Structure 1
Amino acid sequence: HLIFKCGGIDKRTIEKFEKEAQDMGKGSFKYAWVLDKLKAERERGITIDIALWKFITSKFEVTIIDAPGHRDFIKNMITGTSQADCAVLIVAAGVGEFEAGISKEGQTREHALLAFTLGVKQLIIAVNKMDDIKYNETRFNEIKDEMTSYIKKVGYNPENVAVVPISGWHGDNMIEPSSNMPWYKGWSRGGKSKGMTLLEAIDDIAVPKRPTDKPLRLPLQDVYKIGGVGTVPVGRVETGVLKPGMVVTFAPAGLSTEVKSVEMHHEVLSEALPGDNVGFNIKNVSVKDIRRGNVAGDSKNCPPGETDTFNAQVIIMNHPGSIRNGYTPVLDCHTAHIA
Structure 2
Amino acid sequence: MDLLRFITAGSVDDGKSTLIGRLLYDSKSIMIDQLEAIEKQSKNKADGEIDLALLTDGLRAEREQGITIDVAYKYFATPKRKFIIADAPGHIQYTRNMVTGASNADLAIILIDARNGVVEQTRRHSIIASLLNIPHVVVAVNKMDLVNNSQDVYNNIVIDYAEVAKTLGLNDVTYIPISAINGANIVEKSEDFPWYEGASLLHILENVQVENDINHTDARFPVQFVIRPQTDALHDYRGYAGKISSGVYAKGDKVTVLPSGTTSAIKAIEVGGKEVKEAYAPQSVVLHLEDDIDISRGDIIVKTDNQPAVGNEIEVLLCWMDHKPLIPGNKYLLQLNSKTVRSVVKEITYKLDVNSLQQEAFPEKVGLNDVVKATIKTASPIAYDSYKKLRTNGGAILIDETSHVTVGACMIQ
TM-score, normalised by the number of residues in structure 2: 0.52
Taking the aligned partners of 2:358 and 2:337, their CA distance within structure 1 comes to: 39
Q: Which aligned runs of 4 or more in structure 1 are off by greater than 4 angstroms?
A: 24-29, 210-213, 273-276, 307-310, 318-322, 330-336
Give the one of 147, 153, 174 matched to 1:139.
Answer: 153
CA contact (8 A) 1:82 1:334 kept: no
**C-alpha separation in 2, matches of 1:315 and 1:322:** 6
Alpha-carbon deviation of 1:175?
A: 1.2
Structure-1 residue corresponding to 2:123: 109
Q: 2:364 corresponds to which letter in structure 1?
A: Y
Instruction: Name the structure 2 match of 1:201.
Output: 204
Q: Unaligned regions of 5+ residues in structure 2, if any? A: 1-21, 225-242, 247-280, 285-332, 372-394, 398-405
Q: 1:322 to 1:149 in 2, by over 3 A?
A: closer
Task: Note the 1:38-187 alignment, pairs <5 A.
Answer: 38-93=59-114, 95=115, 97-98=116-117, 102-103=118-119, 106-157=120-171, 160-186=172-198
Cα gap change, 1:182 to 1:239, in 2 (>3 Å):
same
Which whole-Å CA distance do the structure 2 matches of 1:113 and 1:216 have between them?
33
Query: Are the aligned partners of 1:8 and 1:53 in contact in 2 as well (CA < 8 Å)?
Result: no
**1:24 positional shift:** 6.1
Shift of the 321–107 alpha-carbon distance from structure 1 to 2, 3 Å rule, reads closer
User: Which residue identity is paired with 1:76?
Assistant: N
Deviations 1:193-225 (A, max 9, x none): xxx1101111232223167852068xxxxxxxx
Structure 1 stretch 133-142 or stretch 3-12: which is displaced more?
A: 3-12
**C-alpha distance 4-334 of structure 1, shift in aligned 2 (>3 A):** farther
Letter in 2 for 1:199: L
Q: Aligned with 2:74: secondary structure?
A: strand
Matches within 5 A, 1:1-339: 1-23=22-44, 30-93=51-114, 95=115, 97-98=116-117, 102-103=118-119, 106-157=120-171, 160-186=172-198, 196-207=199-210, 208-209=213-214, 213-215=220-222, 239=245, 295=335, 297-298=337-338, 303-306=339-342, 316-317=352-353, 323-325=360-362, 327-330=364-367, 336-338=406-408
Contact 2:351 2:363 in 1 (8 A): no
8 Å Cα contact 1:7/1:55 also seen in 2: no
Aligned residues: 249
Q: Which has the higher strand share?
A: 2
Residues 19 and 309 of structure 1: CA distance in aligned 2, closer, same or farther (over 3 Å): closer
Q: Which protein is bigger by CA-based radius of gyration?
A: 2
> TM-score if structure 1 supplies the norm length?
0.62
State the Cα distance separating 1:139 from its structure 2 match: 0.8
Partner Cα separation in structure 1 for residue 283 and residue 51 of structure 2 = 30
> Secondary structure of 1:48's match?
coil
How many Å separate the matches in 1 of 2:334 and 2:47?
A: 38
- Taking structure 1 as reference, are residues 45 and 155 closer, same or farther at Cα in structure 2, changes over 3 Å only? same
8 Å contact kept, 1:54–1:64: yes
After the TM superposition, which of the residue ranges 50-59 and 140-149 deviates more from structure 2?
50-59
